[in-house]
Amino acid sequence: MTDRSTGHDRVVAVIGGGISGLAAARVLAGLAPVSEQLSNGGDNSVARRTRVVVLEAGHRLGGKVASGELAGQPVELGPDQFLRRDPSAERLCRHLGLGDDLVAPAASTAAVWSRGKMRGLPRGLVLGVPTDLDAVEQGGIVSAEGVNRARLDGELDGPVLDAFDVGLGEPPADGPVEERSAGEILRARLGDETVDRLVDPLLGGINAGGVDTMSLGTAAPQIAQALIGHRDVIAPLAATLPAASGSAAPSSPFYGLRGGLSRLIDACCEELAGAGVEIRTSSPVNTIRSSGTGWLLETGQAALAVDGIVLAVPGYAGSELTKDCVPDLAGTLGEIAYASVAVVTLAFRTEALSLPSRWTGVLVPRIEGRLMTAATWLSVKWPWMSGEETSYVRVSAGRFGDARIDDLGDEELAARLTSELSEIAGIDAGPFACKVTRYERSFPQYQPGHRSRVAAMAKALYAKPGLALAGAVLGGIGIPACITSGEVAANRLTCDLGR
């Protein structure tokens, strides 16, 4: 589709200006390399002939990535860190000139509120799954009886797990069998208490979900992989850990960005604008229709005819958009459940606040029945988020299966969480400023069968060249996984449209 007004050979749209969509736009604009097999030796003349338009419904870019201000200081209101194991986010920050502002958290471990007090996480956990039960017993998060139950892991009989059992393989050919949830697998081996008090707050907490409604293979592939061919959990998982390496402190697996992760979004946008990418905010796409070899987008303003689309929106939004043009895709996207969360950021006078600063914050297990799911001592974890006189704490609430936040107004929510924070962390001082940020339907739930759903979406897309899917909906909640998903989707679209 030649766009005579701009002299471009083709037009592609990225729907959704979160980190996934921006990462896709960078590849489409020739700012990031396409994959090896598509590479034409560094010639990005094709990208130069492509008009790239980013359409974002909100008034700002970044989606869930949202830094803001409270009491005159910059604070993170959404994500505050990313994993370094997948290098894509760190690489992008460095590429955009933000390398000097990458910072590791100043404290590295959290506590769990369990059995009446805050207790530090024991060593040897992999997303909450223990590999050292002596350390778990010493830590006290799980009672002695609970630890003794977990010690039976190596002795109990049970099925040898295969790839399908742990959510990493194809379903057996001889009939549909439900994938077992992470909770089902782990409870059978470790007992309920260890799962409820240790595994669920960490593994479940990452997705604002719970292990009983989670696919182990999608949410924690490294754990799932370790269990294949075994009955038990602890020994095979322990075997995957690197041997302790003397006295050197391990470097943090996380990075944050001084000044806030929104700086990454701003830098991406600046680079995209410099490359001629059109970025339109307050431009929700209402409908996608097939049109000849391309697509027609209704945006509420003018319709936009495009040759290709990267769809980088939450599953339910993608389902709505594709229900007429790719109903199979829409059906599967619509099956993916989401959890809503709320984040209450509190500003305290530093002199009045005493925090247990050996921890970054505290996780609160679901079985405690509290509204609060976690608290982060922002000013301890990230010294850049503290003024001389002001310190910040953030309290989170809401998870899959617990929608109590929906029934509370902002003021009541903040009051309830401040009161729980005081009971749990012994913070007697009252905050002098507070900001409530709600993220409705923000955390996709990777439920058992997610892998099959992703395969079904890939099949639906295969039959519809010129449409690619990116974002957390595919199975990686973290910022690095989202960046990778955007880059992969853009590669796929480039391939579809023919170089």
Ligand X SMILES: Cc1cc2nc3c(=O)[nH]c(=O)nc-3n(C[C@H](O)[C@H](O)[C@H](O)COP(=O)(O)OP(=O)(O)OC[C@H]3O[C@@H](n4cnc5c(N)ncnc54)[C@H](O)[C@@H]3O)c2cc1C
- Catalog residues that contact ligand X under the rule CB under 6 A: 15-21, 55-58, 63-65, 78-82, 284-285, 312-314, 317, 321, 341, 343, 439, 442, 471-472, 477-479, 482
* Residue closer to ligand X, measured from CB, 65 or 133: 65
* Residue closer to ligand X, measured from CB, 73 or 81: 81
CB of 357 to ligand X, least distance (A): 20
CB of 26 to ligand X, least distance (A): 13
CB of 296 to ligand X, least distance (A): 14
Who's near 219: CB < 8 A, 6+ residues apart? Answer: 182, 203, 206, 207, 209, 446
CB of 263 to ligand X, least distance (A): 14
* Residue closer to ligand X, measured from CB, 79 or 449: 79
CB of 5 to ligand X, least distance (A): 23
CB of 386 to ligand X, least distance (A): 18
* Residue closer to ligand X, measured from CB, 227 or 481: 481
Nearest to 441 by CA among 293, 333, 341: 341
* Residue closer to ligand X, measured from CB, 191 or 205: 205
* Residue closer to ligand X, measured from CB, 21 or 122: 21
Nearest to 220 by CA among 230, 233, 229, 231: 233
CB of 171 to ligand X, least distance (A): 27
* Residue closer to ligand X, measured from CB, 82 or 348: 82
CB of 300 to ligand X, least distance (A): 9
CB of 495 to ligand X, least distance (A): 21
* Residue closer to ligand X, measured from CB, 348 or 443: 443
* Residue closer to ligand X, measured from CB, 143 or 287: 287
